[in-house]
Chains A and B, each alone.
Chain A
């Protein structure tokens, strides 16, 4: 299956990942997107390269008396070093059923989508909470029935949604397998699964979702969302 990823990791999120600053839950979403997206793997390697050069430059500045304006040196070094290789597009070995869940996500769940024990959320939606050790994020796999909306909500903070199967639309944009949606508290959105098939996605939030419906807010602790 060819993945044509349209919605990528933002520079600021990728930088936070590259510098090791992201909590486990966010990192899981970023790493799983990277597994599906050669162009973001390329961007990550560029950032790590730039970071390495910057550290080297900082070391030089403290050991030798390099002129302070050595930013140009650094850029020259980045440019002079070997050009970034285009990521090799590896043809996956022919499998009868290529996994829906790439690593590292699959290991967190212990199985691919066919063997998972989904918990009903109501309205035909299902989820599986995913445990992380960071204590700051809420991570889960969501299954939204074809054509149905995720209940409208805004966020206490950031939310990352990575599509793994099917697709959802959110306003004008369509998110398909591999696409990552980054939302923050300023966005009240209404993702709707496209009618062709159920949508499975990885959702990471840093605060319990704030539903606008009072009933859902009351039910939230019971449903575990």
Chain B
């Protein structure tokens, strides 16, 4: 079973936990918006895949 890479987990934590906007996250982590968006997509793709494997 794969685990989420730390950078993707960090993003989701910031989104859900701190309710930070994606532009605020991008600024805080010093990342371009495109990178933030693609990490979010990757993270949910992995989570969905993990769920489907178990289901």
Residues of A at the B interface (CB closer than 8 Å) are 10-12, 15-16, 19-21, 46-47, 50-51, 54-55, 58, 71-72, 75, 78-80, 83-84
Task: Give B1 Cβ to nearest chain A Cβ, in Å.
Answer: 8
Question: Total A-B residue pairs with C-beta atoms closer than 8 Å?
Answer: 66
Using Cβ atoms and an 8 Å threshold, which residues of chain A touch B45? 11
Whether A54 pairs with B16 at a CB distance below 8 angstroms is yes
Digitize B44-55: 1 where CB-to-A-CB distance is under 8 Å, 0 elsewhere.
110110110011
Instruction: Identify whether the interface residues of A are mostly helix, strand, loop, or mixed.
Output: helix
* Given A16-B21, A71-B3, A72-B3, A11-B40 contact (CB < 8 Å): yes
Whether A12 pairs with B36 at a CB distance below 8 angstroms is yes
Whether A19 pairs with B55 at a CB distance below 8 angstroms is no
Interface residues on B, range: 20 to 34
Instruction: Choose one: B20, B47, B55; the contact of A50 (CB below 8 Å).
Output: B47
Whether A10 pairs with B55 at a CB distance below 8 angstroms is no
Task: Give A90 Cβ to nearest chain B Cβ, in Å.
Answer: 23
Instruction: Choose one: B13, B17, B21, B50; the contact of A75 (CB below 8 Å).
Output: B50
Whether B13 pairs with A19 at a CB distance below 8 angstroms is no
Whether A19 pairs with B19 at a CB distance below 8 angstroms is yes
Assembly CA distance A215 to B1 (angstroms): 59
Interface CB pairs A-B, < 8 A, 18: A12-B22, A12-B36, A15-B15, A15-B44, A19-B15, A19-B16, A20-B19, A21-B21, A21-B22, A54-B16, A55-B16, A75-B50, A78-B50, A79-B51, A80-B54, A83-B51, A83-B55, A84-B51
* Given A21-B19, A51-B16, A54-B12, A12-B41 contact (CB < 8 Å): yes
Q: Is B4 interfacial (CB-CB < 8 Å)?
A: yes
Whether A58 pairs with B17 at a CB distance below 8 angstroms is yes
